[in-house]
């Protein structure tokens, strides 16, 4: 029963920031002295349980220098195991193997009933792995710390046209899309906000130069605009007879911006370097469409319609 009580004590300490010995004793149905002994057992296992004396004092679970065993309830264990299975096919270099190792350890200690539920969820799930480039996990850590500590980052960057340059920026946030990772940062040399693809960054190093965080756009919205609209030669705006939610199920946010309009319609804004390509992909949604901008998109749609009509009217006849 002592082991079970220690696990219950750990669960209580994880539930809220601080407990008094009297509160813990009441929850566990033991004496204050038993609580102190169980706290010592947790410390021996590697859990840093801090104690403060006096009025308002109590026990608090702190962050340790090594990772001790974790305590999960049923729902947490299933969610963690399923997430690890999905992470094994992720876009962060090295995390697939690390996720598999962690999943193996979790699977060894998981009760059979939970293991069966996890495998049932995994067996009923298919994942589509896109062509996204793998990102080194150390790069993510470096940038995450720089964002947190508000220090400038220096790196070499390959632009869309293949040009290479050295950049020093003030990082704000990383944004992950379905296939790519981006960094939103303020570029002092260009005196403006910029978006950088992580797979195009090299020799990334956090400097010792701190900066005062400045007002910035919403990172997710800014990256969406930068990746779906700004870099392209043409910007198409159309009205679709569907709700924004219905269209978002078919169109990823990094491809286009979709907004509700009225009367069961929505607007879609997407960028592209070829109007024929834009017309084809908008038509592939299979929705009633009204072109708002640019007028040349209507011409591209007419050409596409002519080609499809000719294709349908002239079936291929095999030769003997």
CA distance 203 to 132: 20
Query: Percentage of residues in the chain with pLDDT exceeding 70?
Result: 83
The string over 93-106, giving b where at least 16 C-beta atoms fall within 10 Å of a residue's C-beta and e elsewhere, is: eebeeebeebbeeb
Residue found by looking up tokens 């609580």 in the block = 35
pLDDT (tens digit, 9 = 90+) per residue, 25-39? 999 999 999 999 999
Q: Read off the pLDDT of residues 36-70 as tens digits, 9 standing for 90 and up.
A: 999 998 888 888 899 987 666 689 888 765 666 66
The whole-number pLDDT of residue 108 equals 67
Count other C-beta atoms under 10 Å from residue 72's C-beta.
17
3-state secondary structure of 222: helix
pLDDT value at 105 more than 50: yes
Q: Which has more pLDDT, 256 or 96?
A: 256
The beta strand positions in 21-94, using DSSP E, are: 49-52, 58-61, 92-93
Residue 132 clears pLDDT 70, i.e. is over it: no
Mean pLDDT of 128-135: 60
CA distances from 132 to 6, 182, 225, 250 (A): 45, 12, 19, 19
Among 37-41, 100-104, 273-277, 298-302, the least confident range:
100-104
**Residue 116: helix, strand or coil by DSSP?**
helix
Does the pLDDT of residue 152 top 90, yes or no?
yes
Give the pLDDT mean for 283-308.
93
For range 247-262, the mean pLDDT: 84
Distances (CA, A) of 39 to 21, 47, 217, 254, 278: 10, 9, 46, 49, 64
User: Whole-prediction pTM value?
Assistant: 0.54
Give percent above pLDDT 90 in the chain: 37
* Arithmetic mean of pLDDT, 214-227: 86
Lowest mean pLDDT among 20-34, 82-96, 281-295, 299-313: 82-96
pLDDT-based confidence at residue 84 (cuts at 50, 70, 90) = confident
Is the pLDDT at 131 greater than 60? The verdict is: no
| CA 212 to mean position of chain CA atoms | 26
* Beta carbons of 21 and 32 less than 8 angstroms apart: yes
d(C-alpha 104, C-alpha 81), whole Å: 9
CB atoms within 10 A of CB 47: 20
Q: pLDDT band for 320, please (50, 70, 90 cuts).
A: very low
The span from the CA of 91 to the CA of 131, in Å, is 9
Structure tokens, 227: 């990746």
């Amino acid at each position: 029963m002592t082991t079970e009580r220690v696990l219950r004590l750990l669960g209580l300490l994880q539930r809220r920031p601080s407990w008094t010995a009297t509160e813990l004793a009441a929850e566990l149905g033991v004496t204050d002295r038993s609580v102190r002994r169980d706290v010592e057992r947790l410390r021996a296992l590697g859990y840093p349980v801090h104690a403060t004396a006096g009025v308002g004092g109590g026990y608090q679970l702190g962050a340790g220098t090594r990772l001790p065993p974790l305590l999960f309830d049923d729902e947490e264990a299933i969610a963690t195991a399923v997430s690890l299975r999905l992470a094994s096919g992720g876009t962060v270099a090295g995390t697939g193997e690390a996720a598999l190792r962690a999943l193996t350890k979790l699977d060894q200690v998981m009760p059979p009933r939970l293991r069966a539920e996890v495998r049932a969820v995994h067996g009923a799930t298919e994942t589509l792995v896109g062509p996204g480039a793998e990102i080194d996990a150390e790069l993510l850590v470096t940038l995450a710390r720089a964002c947190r500590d508000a220090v400038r980052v220096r790196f070499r960057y390959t632009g869309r046209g293949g040009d290479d340059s050295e950049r020093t920026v003030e990082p704000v946030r990383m944004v992950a899309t379905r296939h790519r990772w981006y960094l939103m940062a303020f570029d002092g040399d260009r005196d403006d906000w910029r978006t950088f693809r992580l797979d195009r960054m090299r020799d990334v190093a956090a400097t010792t130069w701190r900066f005062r965080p400045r007002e910035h756009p919403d990172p997710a919205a800014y990256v969406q605009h930068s990746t779906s609209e700004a870099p392209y030669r043409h910007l198409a705006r159309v009205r679709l007879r569907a709700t924004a939610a219905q269209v978002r199920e078919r169109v990823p946010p990094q491809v286009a911006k979709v907004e509700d309009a009225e009367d069961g319609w929505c607007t879609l804004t997407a960028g592209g370097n070829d109007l024929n390509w834009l017309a084809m992909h908008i038509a592939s949604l299979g929705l009633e469409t009204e072109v708002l901008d640019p007028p040349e998109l209507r011409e591209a749609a007419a050409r596409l319609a002519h080609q499809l009509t000719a294709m349908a009217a002239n079936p291929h006849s095999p030769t003997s």
